[in-house]
Amino acid sequence: MEKVRVLVIDDSALVRKLLSAMLDSDPGIEVVGVAADPLIARDKIKQLEPDVLTLDVEMPRMDGLTFLENLMRLRPMPVVMVSSLTERGAEVTLRALEIGAVDFFTKPSSDLANCFAESAQEICAKVKLAARTRPRPYTQVQKLDVPPRHSADVVLPRSQSPGTRGSMRIIAVGASTGGTEAIRVLLEAMPPDAPPIVITQHIPAAFSGPFAARMNNCSAMRVCEARDGQPIQPGHAYIAPGGEHLLVMWDGAKHVCRLHDGPHVNRHKPSVDVLFRSTAASIGAAAIGVLLTGMGDDGARGLLEMRESGAPTLVQDEASSVVWGMPGAAWKLGAADEKLPLEDIAARLLALAHQPIAGARRAAS
């Protein structure tokens, strides 16, 4: 197998040195060059024809976002962003994923050598995975204005008559690599009165809050980072905080979000399997499960548990996925009833939400 040819773009000489050495230590990767800023990188891309770029989000002479936007518009290619663990770094990185970056990894402000050594396997895997993707040309899309949010309280106080357990559909969503954009597409298509959505996206702790805020700005639903004990309500979407598992639990009167600071599951925290298992146990056939683009197989077994509890389940198809790892694993496991393109998933979820809640079905074979 040919080595993945990488161009490292970073204004820090130390980062260029450490990152290049770490990538070169992988037998499947060859660092063909480095660049201190995007203008130098532009010429080296033409000369070296790398398969993948690693790109710092904050660069001199031309910022990383401007460079990425020009690149994805004129010469789309796989890019893995290098981000700082700050709120500013999170905002810029999420914007980079919107423009077309495949994935990202974070770097601390100190002790870079140990950080890269500890994360070497994960970073190398992301770079090699990026080489297998086919980024699409970036086009600026004019987004619709989301109307101001008003509740029915401005007209009439809400009735306090409680529903019965399992009478409300709840949609559980899992995603990883490419998922920030897939979730945006899904949430943008949801009306303000959509069934509640609980979401686990593999994301660092510093990124989940800005990600939830970004999704809230582009969706007619109210989107937030989940809080422990928070009631789950229609028209709301709840995103798992980075570094904590999100569970759906029944507290005797209503479904609520529960956060759990337990061990990593499938090397992830939050884990999609944890969300899906809790959903299967507490909601059963009233839930709907969907697994979007992502690397690995987290969520596949949990989705099967949801299906066996009677819940409708679906996965994103390979053609529209950045990585068909998680949804592919679920499909092969027999965990999904349907496989759909990303752009069709929201409409299908809404259609399923209006169907009568089925009784528990026999386990998938």
Which amino acids are annotated catalytic?
Answer: 176, 202, 298
| H-only helix segments in the chain | 13-24, 38-48, 64-74, 87-99, 112-130, 179-188, 205-218, 272-282, 300-308, 326-333, 342-353
Of 234, 237, 233, 209, give the one whose Cα is nearest residue 223: 237
How far apart are alpha carbons 288 and 282 in whole angstroms? 12
> What is the DSSP-derived secondary structure letter of residue 60?
S
What's the token pair of residue 121?
A: 């396997």
How far apart are alpha carbons 287 and 14 in whole angstroms? 49
Query: Is the torsion defined by CA of 325, 326, 331, 334 positive or negative?
Result: positive
Of 84, 333, 90, 345, give the one whose Cα is nearest residue 203: 90
* Partners of residue 259 on adjacent β-strands: 246
What is the distance between the terminal CA atoms of the chain, rounded to a whole angstrom? 36
